[in-house]
Amino acid sequence: MKKILKSVLLTLIVVFAAWMSLHLWMKYDETKDTGMILYGNVDIRQVNLGFRVGGRIEKMLFEEGDNVKKGDVIAILDRKPYEDTFNLYQAQVEESTALLAKMKTGYRDEEIAKEKANVAERKASHELQEKNLERAKTLLEKNVISKQSYDETWSHWNETKAALESSKEYLNLVSKGYRVEEITAAKAFQRAAEARLEQARTSLADTEIRSPSDGIVLTRIMEPGAIVAAGQTAYTISLTSPVWVRAYVNEPDLGRIYYGMPVKIYTDSAPDKPYAGHIGFISPEAEFTPKSVETPELRASLVYRLRIIADNPDRSLLQGMPVTVKLGKTAANKNSEDHTSL
């Protein structure tokens, strides 16, 4: 029995020793490749915000250092001049719409009836003058009236004839309605009025500055009451996302990195609290090492620019801050896996 126990114990010791050897070997293998260490600087996008129209600033709603959210109104111009322009163009649209509707509908029945009455009246007047002309002609042949009296009667007859023809033409016009050309012109006038109204609406909306993204107010340049021109900067915003590190890698190490490769970002102020990140951009073009890269091996060689995106940035990552980026050995394994899968 004792021999069996000794044998089992010896077997367990051998297995444990083998497991420890394997574990230590794997740990050693992991430490053989310490990965790459790169040095870079934090890059944060900034945006200068201004009004797209000019005017007098009414409100500046945020101070330097304040957090702003995407869509927040951060400054407002005096809206009164733009509201007046908007109301004027809105009235013009209503006027042009009414005019176009009138032309499409044509003249009212009452207007047509009125013109028919005018035609009847002028026709009666013309017929009366025609009878007077016949009588004047007979009297002239008998030398009862002078030639001048006959000419005056003829002139009155001719005037009533012209008036009758004019009223008939106008009656024909109102009966048919407006011409196609007039309706087309009215449509164009309405479109122009609507375009002016839309332009006024856009200008009215542009009296507000809205934050394009989440960020922090870096500078507040203007104050309420200031007269600003279109495009003049009122605020400078530092965007909270994305935050990335600009770093450089030399050509022999390109095969050890890939898009999306996870990294750790270390700062001098908190070296024990690294930020997680990944490689988001590898420049396809080589360039000479910038002066900001102090690594002796890279100082005189061609390098490729990297953009390393911080996955969990906070306000401790500031513009231009120097950082250290550590990359593991997973790149080589990743490339091997990719080639194997192909």
Q: Give yes or no: residues 259 and 122 share one domain.
A: no
Q: Give yes or no: residues 90 and 187 share one domain.
A: yes
Q: Give yes or no: residues 70 and 97 share one domain.
A: no
Q: Give yes or no: residues 178 and 252 share one domain.
A: no
Q: What is the mean pLDDT of residues 103-121?
A: 76
Q: Give yes or no: residues 280 and 246 share one domain.
A: yes
Domain end among 145, 180, 202:
202
Q: Give yes or no: residues 155 and 300 share one domain.
A: no
Q: What pLDDT does residue 57 have? A: 97
In 3D, which of 199, 214, 238, 191 has the Cα closest to residue 48? Answer: 238
Residue 166 lies in a domain: yes
Q: What is the mean pLDDT of residues 97-122?
A: 79
Residue 259 CB neighbours (<10 A): 9
Q: What pLDDT does residue 5 have? A: 60
> 54 or 25, which is more confident?
54
Q: How big is the CA angle at 55 (ends 49 and 60), to the nearest 5 degrees? A: 50
Round to whole Å and give the CA distance between 331 and 336: 9
Whether 30 shows a pLDDT value over 50: the answer reads no
Kindly report the pTM of this predicted structure. 0.60
Residue 57 lies in a domain: yes
Residue 23 lies in a domain: no
Per-residue pLDDT band at 33 (split at 50, 70, 90): very low
CATH number at residue 249: 2.40.30.170
Residue 51 lies in a domain: yes
Residue 25 lies in a domain: no
Q: Can you list the positions of beta strands (E) in the chain?
A: 36-50, 55-60, 67-68, 73-77, 208-210, 215-220, 227-228, 233-250, 262-267, 275-288, 302-310, 322-327
Q: Give yes or no: residues 73 and 97 share one domain.
A: no
Residues 132-174 have pLDDT tens digits of 888 888 888 878 788 888 888 888 888 888 888 888 787 777 7
Q: Give yes or no: residues 89 and 198 share one domain.
A: yes
Residues 199-226 have pLDDT tens digits of 999 999 999 999 999 999 999 999 999 9
Q: What is the mean pLDDT of residues 256-272?
A: 90
Q: Give yes or no: residues 264 and 330 share one domain.
A: yes
Residue that the structure tokens 């000019």 belong to = 54
CATH number at residue 63: 2.40.50.100
In 3D, which of 273, 215, 232 has the Cα closest to residue 65? Answer: 215
Residue 17 lies in a domain: no
Question: In a 3-state reduction of DSSP, which class is residue 205?
Answer: helix
Q: Give yes or no: residues 133 and 105 share one domain.
A: yes
Whether 334 shows a pLDDT value over 50: the answer reads no
Domain end among 182, 202, 222:
202
Q: What pLDDT does residue 328 have? A: 72
Residues 35-81 have pLDDT tens digits of 789 999 998 888 999 999 999 999 999 999 999 999 999 999 999 99
Residue 22 lies in a domain: no
Residue 11 lies in a domain: no
Q: Considering its fold, how many domains does the chain have in total?
A: 3
Q: Give yes or no: residues 195 and 294 share one domain.
A: no
Q: What pLDDT does residue 335 have? A: 40
Structural domain range at position 141 = 85-202
Q: Give yes or no: residues 93 and 161 share one domain.
A: yes
All residues at 6 or more sequence positions from 246 whose CB lies less than 8 Å from its CB, including other chains: 40, 41, 43, 305, 306, 307
Domain end among 176, 202, 228:
202
Q: How big is the CA angle at 44 (ends 43 and 49), to the nearest 5 degrees? A: 145
